[in-house]
């Protein structure tokens, strides 16, 4: 492991949808299977080991005229005092450490080929060029955007399932089922899976479990698909914007889009399309598991 003396948290250029940049190598972490090369800035969206839903970008890095394949990318967190790679136990511990200046976070690019020619000591402070695999990124951005729209539709379709007033609403003024029940979410290039916990805690907040369980989930899936496609079609001229405090890795970022003449903002640091006109038709499939008390939703691009 080698870190530059002047290392700071990486500038996350993917927050602004970049797919290329020049950068300086600031850290190199060697593992038996390959190297993570960390840079002062990067257009690569890194996987967040703390449970981020979007996978790390792939692409290539050019160092001293030689091109290396970047197989994956991830957030590398360093304790400023020990200068070692650390794994905070929770997102809040990570953000707290970042704010207090105990941690710095860097975008690590995973390289496995030509290891013999990459000596970690000689790489520090070298210039490089970073190229994201644009097709891979574009598909992830499409899926990620679609998942946000699916959550808006889901909140709307389930709005009548709440027996009492819910304080936590989305920007279309529907009870925010998505945010209240989400357990895990994973984004892939052509589809995404979301798992919602339909248990006692949701019931206590006023969600009608009896009515929900009596749903015909096949029919419900068809309704969700139809509403989602309609929403995309009606709002296809809407532009997507991403904004936040700054573009440092770990900064608070938001996704914003105009839906039915209202602005919807969702906290998110992933990548998205720039206009809803880029989205294809989609299908939504729901599956309720009574034993696990979960609703699984697969949102797929056609």
Does position 268 bind Zn ion by CB under 5 A? yes
What is the rounded CA–CA span in Å between residue 123 and residue 281?
45
Cβ 243 to Zn ion, closest distance in Å?
Answer: 12
Cα–Cα separations (whole angstroms), residue 280 to 146, 241, 260, 299: 9, 19, 19, 12
Q: Which is nearer to Zn ion, 109 or 144 (CB)?
A: 144
Q: How far is the CB of 55 from Zn ion (least distance, A)?
A: 13
Q: How far is the CB of 261 from Zn ion (least distance, A)?
A: 21
> How many CB atoms are closer than 10 A to CB 175?
24
For residue 96, report the phi and psi dihedrals to the nearest 5 degrees.
-60, -45
- Nearest CB to Zn ion, comparing residues 253 and 298: 253
Could you tell me the two tokens for 292? 């696990």
Cα 56 to Cα 59, 74, 79, 119, 132: the distances in Å are: 10, 6, 22, 24, 10
The one segment of 99-107, 187-195, 207-215, 248-256 that binds Zn ion by CB under 5 A: 248-256
By CB under 5 A, name the one of 154, 196, 270, 299 that touches Zn ion: 270
Piece of the chain touching Zn ion by CB under 5 A; list 72-80, 184-192, 229-237, 270-278:
270-278
Residue 161 near residue 39 (C-beta atoms within 8 A): no
DSSP string, 108-119: EEEE-S-GGG--
Tell me if 52 contacts Zn ion by CB under 5 A. Answer: no
Return the range that interacts with Zn ion (CB under 5 A); candidates 65-73, 84-92, 137-145, 277-285: 137-145
* Whether the Cβ atoms of residue 67 and residue 155 lie closer than 8 Å to each other: no
Q: In terms of CB distance, is 8 or 246 closer to Zn ion?
A: 246
What is the spatial distance between Cα 46 and Cα 74, in angstroms, rounded to a whole number?
4
Q: How far is the CB of 299 from Zn ion (least distance, A)?
A: 13
137/144 with CB nearer Zn ion: 144
According to the binding rule CB under 5 A, does residue 191 interact with Zn ion? no
Tokens of 238: 């809407």
Least distance CB 59 / Zn ion (angstroms): 20
Q: Which of 255, 279, 286, 299 binds Zn ion (CB under 5 A)?
A: 255
Residue among 161, 164, 171 at smallest CA distance from 198: 161
Q: Toward Zn ion, which CB reaches closer, 53 or 72?
A: 53
Q: Which residues bind Zn ion (CB under 5 A)?
A: 144, 255, 268, 270
């Amino acid at each position: 492991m080698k870190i530059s003396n002047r290392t700071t948290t990486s500038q996350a250029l993917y927050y602004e949808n970049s797919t290329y940049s020049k950068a300086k190598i600031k850290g190199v972490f060697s593992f038996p299977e390959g190297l993570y090369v960390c840079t002062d800035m990067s257009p690569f969206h890194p996987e967040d080991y703390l449970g981020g839903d979007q996978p790390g970008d792939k692409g290539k890095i050019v160092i001293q005229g030689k091109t290396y394949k970047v197989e994956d990318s991830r957030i590398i967190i360093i304790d400023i005092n020990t200068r070692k790679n650390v794994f905070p136990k929770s997102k809040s511990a990570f953000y707290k450490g970042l704010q207090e200046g105990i941690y710095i976070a860097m975008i690590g690019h995973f390289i496995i080929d030509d290891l013999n020619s990459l000596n970690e000591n000689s790489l520090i402070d070298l210039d490089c060029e970073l190229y994201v695999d644009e097709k891979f990124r574009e598909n992830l951005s499409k899926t990620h955007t679609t998942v946000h729209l699916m959550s808006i539709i889901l909140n709307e379709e389930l709005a009548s399932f709440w027996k009492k007033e819910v304080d936590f609403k989305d920007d279309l003024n529907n009870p925010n089922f998505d945010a209240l029940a989400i357990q895990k979410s994973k984004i892939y290039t052509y589809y995404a899976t979301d798992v919602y916990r339909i248990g006692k805690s949701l019931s206590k907040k006023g969600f009608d479990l009896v009515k929900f369980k009596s749903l015909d989930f096949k029919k419900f899936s068809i309704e969700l698909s139809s509403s989602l496609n309609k929403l995309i079609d009606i709002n296809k001229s809407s532009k997507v914007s991403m904004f936040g405090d700054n573009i440092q890795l770990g900064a608070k970022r938001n996704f914003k889009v105009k839906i039915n003449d209202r602005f919807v903002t969702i906290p998110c640091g992933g990548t998205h399309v720039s206009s809803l006109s880029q989205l294809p038709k989609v299908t939504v499939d729901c599956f309720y598991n009574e034993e696990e008390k979960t609703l699984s939703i697969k949102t797929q691009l056609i």
